[in-house]
Chain A
Amino acid sequence: MAEMAKEKAYRIHLMVCAGTGCVSNNAFGIKAALEREVKKQGLENEVLIVTTGCNGFCERGPLLVVQPGSIFYQQLTEKDIPHLVEEHFLKGRPVKKLMYTPPKEKTPVPVLSDIDFFKKQVLIALRNRGLIDPEKIDEYIARDGYKAVAKALTEMAPEQVITEIANSGLRGRGGAGFPTGLKWQMVRNAPASNGSLKYLICNGDEGDPGAFMDRSILEADPHSVIEGMVIGARAVGASEGFVYVRNEYPLAIKRMNIAIEQARDYGLLGNNILGTGFDFDIKIVRGAGAFVCGEETALIASVEGRLGEPRTRPPYPAQSGLWEKPTLINNVETWANVPIIIDRGAKWYASIGTLTSKGTKVFSLVGKINNTGLVEVPMGIALREIIYDIGGGIPGGKEFKAVQTGGPSGGCIPKEQLDLPIDYESLTAAGSMMGSGGMVVMDEDTCMVDVARYFLTFTKDESCGKCTPCREGTKAMLDIITRITEGKGTEEDLTLLEDMAHAVKDSSLCGLGKTAPNPVLTTLRYFRNEYEAHIRDRKCPAHVCRQLNVYTIDENRCLTVGKGCDLCRRNCASDAIRGAKNEAHRIVQEKCIKCGVCYDVCNFGAVKVD
């Protein structure tokens, strides 16, 4: 702390987003350019450049937030920097053209909190995003970090901590939504066989396509996870913890390692934490990238060094987990919620959300949506608010069709249910699930049969292969759906598909197999007409399933508007287009391989697809 006091005060703080999205958009190049320019202008004693974790508005990266004042700059390039530094930081004139302008509007919104994307968000798990440098523990502490640990270790009995968590109504953010307090109580009560050894695990094996909540938290605020784990360890009486992160998250692993080192240096991890005599330490275990290892028993097997495959529960990890010891396993986001609950009290936390689902949930909003990014919203918020208010609606003026929540094993929710409040129960009732918080938005150009095929391909590839229904069932369902998308499906296929989806859901061993049929079941439930169109009419209404498309050329338009430009013929890979320059063109259907290139290259809209 003494070090902090010595630190200089700066006039301006530049918060450069260094989340994975912005980094891949050259955030570090921007940072170097800023440093260069600041030095050039002689401002190095007035302007401090800070790299922060993910800001969330990934769509607009690379991002820069200027404090004080929260001026939000977006889509920066290195070329913009000299001008920006001179204008804003030297002359005090914010640069309007680098600010965010909402679609359909003309005037930019300078301040972050005024932007729609941020306005409706409630930040609890992501409370420090964009505000601190994740590699500096002092900055976390300055934002009331590790205050909750001090409180839990010195002022509260373990039982009180558990009661507080239970009263807050916090439920597992990994997907199933098991009440966290109850789980902690189970681990605390578990009779420890030989010795009193218990373990703690942070599940950071985020595997859903398009989901990056856990990665963002580990990258932007690793200390919040560590703090949550120390509190959890104290509450259940564990002495060793593991953070299981997939190896594809190098930045998260790096930042977590730094954070653990710093916490140890500050006496917040290791032996005799805060002088209370309580010992707890954390190790990082890197996962090899198997989706099934997100399932807790498979994850535990993986940590133990065995084949990552799930086993039957009970016994639950709370009774017999890692090395057959009682083990408390929670998701990254759940852990990040813990310190703030202890700090601000269960009552405050429980005041946010719905009757059964309390607090907030982080979603990664991706797909056909204007504002791609990471959002944290209170439970109970309507889907419509997330998609239209925060997400800014569908790009290109297209119509919304469905949103897929809960990752590959979640379901598709149609536009009729846009007003569905987001909580565990209503999502399950709609045939989907909360999952870890993936949210894939689809527009009218999406074929729902193809969507089901896509997610089944994923679950089929990721099925560990242990139990028959998941291993054979996902493959068999995929075969049927593929047949349907190729126009070879029959009515019997549809019945069989439905029967199988129910049987696989009913008889699979772990969560992966039990939820893998969800995309099939929900698309069948809400978009059965699309399946029927594929089977009866041999048509894909969204023209996604290419094998069903028929390409034709409007000869009149080709000749009159396009003047027989011949572009399509020259690009046709299978020599299926007849005609010459200045002549009307025509497609020989027998030779057409339905690649769609002619449709894409025609500048005059003469190629039609049906």
Chain B
Amino acid sequence: MVNLTIDGKKVQIEEGKTILQAAAKCEIKIPTLCYHPVVEAYGACRVCMVEVTVRGKTDLVTACNTKVQEGLDVQTGSERVLKARRLNVEMLMARAPAAEPVQELAKALGIEKTRFEIKDPQEKCILCGLCVRACETIVGASAISFIERGTERKVMPPFGEPSEACIGCTACAYFCPTGAITYEDKYGRKVIHTELHLGPTTAIRVPIRQAVPMVPLIDTEACIHFKTGECKVCTKVCDREAINHDMQDETLEVEVGTIILASGFKPFDAKRIPAYGYGHFPNVITALEFERLVNASGPTGGKIKLADGTEPKAVGIIHCVGSRDENYNEYCSRVCCMYSLKFAHLIKEKTSADVYDFYIDMRCFGKGYEEFYHRLLHEGTKFIRGRVSDITDMAMTQREEGKLIIRVEDTLLGTVRRIPVDMVILATGLEPSIDHNQLAKIFNISCSQDTFFLERHPKLAPVSTFSDGIYLAGACQAPRDIPDTVAQAGGAAAEALALADKGTFALEPVTAEIDEDLCAGCQLCVNLCPFTAITYDKEKGISVVNDALCKGCGTCVAACPSGASHQKHFRDSQIFAEIEGIFVV
């Protein structure tokens, strides 16, 4: 540890730290321009100059890259310091009149106007070199550097032409303290709300606010380190040294006794209904996007806004998008009515917009749901019964100018109506998750007609499957809301625990067996077995039944061409004997 004095305050700090760090420790602010904590200090702007006295020698040094020494006496605001700092800032004002940090610093130092010649009033670059250093040492690309000398100095890629070394990471723009470096996005990412772009995020982020576990992850596609091998700025700022760039994906094999499948759902892709214009009209958004928008931790901080940043005056909510529709899914997605009502309520609460709710039937089946619907009726949400045919921006009247027009057959009035709104929320239905079919194969589970996983019995065994020890919970079995999912998951967990606690389970007494002497090894049964209970033994050249998996369905027995497959306790000879017995009587 090193002891020093800054402006009369005694500070103790580890050896190797800079005066700037020591000053920060005792909350003394030293202005900087070319300094950034993760980039190696450069000492070029000379704004952080302080007066130091050590062993009777006084000198002006830059605080950003001068290391602390035992007994150092630092003055951050002496007359000599201020004189030099003021003049340097004043000169930078002339160089880069449009650079805001310089203006602010000048204001703080009491400089109103620069006495030096201003070359370009629009100039923002203060030649601090942060961009150059970041590109070289952090990104590892060295795509830009200084060219020319003295006042002619500027930042440029080689020969002033677009450089192949540039990886387009925009780190230079990020580090630029004055906004002198800008960039344009030529590949037009989808921007939903311009105030804060819902576009690219940082390479390190917590995926969502509600993520479990609530930890950040590194997106290797976006991370500079995985592109150039450099950067690793995150490791420099992480005190806990918790970041490891060398971790690899790995496949774990875990032995378990029971399995609960809770693979969830995916929302219906609204683009499949072109008439609703999702993806074409920026103000047609899905329910999940609205959920994000209205969230207090969302991009607008919970404010409901249109793509141009203004507040909507009328909002339409369309139910049953992709549900109860012969063209897409026939089933009811169960949750859309209630979340749509919630949206209507939130919009009413947060804005003064008119809300139109287009429904086919209002399905408020749960506890307290019907009461909520009635509350909304009183709040003034306009409910229109009928399926929306399409959404268009072709105005037919003055009132429709610049709006999205929802065309709908109002079945209660018996007419076709055109409702102009600013924003449309599509209440997209629920569909089985993307890898649903692979999962079904892996776990040998059947699917019902609606393609969700099939339970063993709709009433008597609603969480079990036909495979013993595998249970279902949540929307993978059928669309359901949160209370239902929680309840079902509790049931599945109890079933799984009951089995795990017992440690054994009773096999079906009637299972198939294959006679080794008769089996010709044709493998017909292997492919036919619906429970993947039969495997082929290559060494012996015969098929073998796994007793634990066999359900005794008899498919293999009926199919075996050489009569090698038998049903235990259900052999032909037994049946014939039974028949004979009948005749005897």
Residues of A within 8 A of B57 (CB): none
B residues 103-122 near A (Cβ < 8 Å) are: 115-117
A506 with B60: CB separation less than 8 A: yes
What are the interface flags for B63-106 relative to A under an 8 Å C-beta threshold, 1 for contact and 0 otherwise? 00111000000000000100111011001101100000000000
Of all chain B residues, which has the CB nearest A475? B151
Residues of B within 8 A of A500 (CB): 87
Quick one: which of B45, B62, B88, B117 contacts A312, CB cutoff 8 A?
Answer: B62
Q: Is A486 an interface residue (CB 8 A)?
A: no
Q: Is B149 an interface residue (CB 8 A)?
A: yes
Residues of B within 8 A of A471 (CB): 127, 150-151, 153
Query: Beyond A465-B146, A465-B149, A467-B44, is A312–B65 a contact (Cβ under 8 Å)?
Result: yes
**How far apart sit A474 and B152, CA to CA, in the bound complex (Å)?**
13
A314 with B80: CB separation less than 8 A: no
Quick one: which of A307, A461, A462, A469 contacts B88, CB cutoff 8 A?
Answer: A469
Q: Is A496 an interface residue (CB 8 A)?
A: yes
Of all chain B residues, which has the CB nearest A309? B146
Q: Is A532 an interface residue (CB 8 A)?
A: no
Quick one: which of B84, B92, B150 contacts A507, CB cutoff 8 A?
Answer: B84
Of all chain A residues, which has the CB nearest B114? A476
A residues 485-504 near B (Cβ < 8 Å) are: 496, 499-500, 502-503
Quick one: which of A314, A461, A475, A508 contacts B46, CB cutoff 8 A?
Answer: A508
**How far apart sit A499 and B152, CA to CA, in the bound complex (Å)?**
24
**How far apart sit A466 and B83, CA to CA, in the bound complex (Å)?**
20
Most buried by B among A465, A468, A496: A468
**How far apart sit A311 and B133, CA to CA, in the bound complex (Å)?**
13
**How far apart sit A575 and B171, CA to CA, in the bound complex (Å)?**
61
A residues 9-40 near B (Cβ < 8 Å) are: none
A463 with B91: CB separation less than 8 A: no
Query: Beyond A507-B84, A507-B88, is A468–B66 a contact (Cβ under 8 Å)?
Result: no
Q: Is B140 an interface residue (CB 8 A)?
A: no
Q: Is A509 an interface residue (CB 8 A)?
A: yes
Q: Is A188 an interface residue (CB 8 A)?
A: no
**How far apart sit A466 and B60, CA to CA, in the bound complex (Å)?**
17
B43 with A472: CB separation less than 8 A: no
B88 with A503: CB separation less than 8 A: yes
Residues of B within 8 A of A507 (CB): 46, 49, 60, 84-85, 87-88
Query: Beyond A479-B116, A508-B46, is A464–B149 a contact (Cβ under 8 Å)?
Result: yes
Residues of B within 8 A of A465 (CB): 127, 146, 148-153
What are the interface flags for B231-244 relative to A under an 8 Å C-beta threshold, 1 for contact and 0 otherwise? 00000000000000
Residues of A within 8 A of B65 (CB): 312
**How far apart sit A312 and B45, CA to CA, in the bound complex (Å)?**
12
Q: Is A473 an interface residue (CB 8 A)?
A: yes
Q: Is A361 an interface residue (CB 8 A)?
A: no
Q: Is B322 an interface residue (CB 8 A)?
A: no
Of all chain B residues, which has the CB nearest A504? B87
What are the interface flags for A230-268 relative to B under an 8 Å C-beta threshold, 1 for contact and 0 otherwise? 000000000000000000000000000000000000000
A468 with B91: CB separation less than 8 A: yes
Q: Is B145 an interface residue (CB 8 A)?
A: yes
Q: Is B432 an interface residue (CB 8 A)?
A: no
Most buried by B among A462, A466, A475, A476: A466
Residues of B within 8 A of A474 (CB): 150
Residues of B within 8 A of A503 (CB): 83-84, 87-88
A499 with B149: CB separation less than 8 A: no
Q: Is B129 an interface residue (CB 8 A)?
A: yes
Quick one: which of A292, A462, A467 contacts B45, CB cutoff 8 A?
Answer: A467
A466 with B129: CB separation less than 8 A: yes
Q: Is A460 an interface residue (CB 8 A)?
A: yes
**How far apart sit A508 and B80, CA to CA, in the bound complex (Å)?**
14
- Closest Cβ of chain B to A370, distance in Å, is 36
**How far apart sit A503 and B65, CA to CA, in the bound complex (Å)?**
20
What are the interface flags for A352-380 relative to B under an 8 Å C-beta threshold, 1 for contact and 0 otherwise? 00000000000000000000000000000
Q: Is A342 an interface residue (CB 8 A)?
A: no
Residues of B within 8 A of A506 (CB): 60, 80, 83-84
Residues of A within 8 A of B45 (CB): 467-468
Q: Is A226 an interface residue (CB 8 A)?
A: no
Could you list some 29 contacts between A and B, CB below 8 A?
Answer: A290-B149, A309-B146, A312-B62, A312-B65, A460-B150, A463-B150, A465-B127, A465-B151, A467-B44, A468-B46, A469-B46, A469-B87, A469-B91, A471-B150, A472-B88, A472-B95, A472-B151, A473-B87, A473-B91, A479-B117, A503-B84, A503-B88, A506-B60, A506-B80, A507-B49, A507-B60, A507-B84, A508-B46, A509-B43
Listed from nearest, the 10 A-B pairs whose CB atoms lie closest are A465-B153, A472-B91, A507-B84, A463-B150, A503-B87, A312-B43, A465-B150, A468-B88, A503-B84, A507-B46
Footprint of A on B, CB under 8 Å? Answer: 41-47, 49, 60, 62, 65-67, 80, 83-85, 87-88, 91-92, 94-95, 115-117, 126-127, 129, 145-146, 148-153
Q: List 7 other contacts, CB 8 Å, given A465-B149, A467-B45, A467-B46.
A: A464-B153, A465-B152, A466-B42, A472-B151, A500-B87, A503-B83, A509-B43
Footprint of B on A, CB under 8 Å? Answer: 290, 292, 307, 309, 311-312, 314, 460-469, 471-476, 479, 496, 499-500, 502-503, 506-509
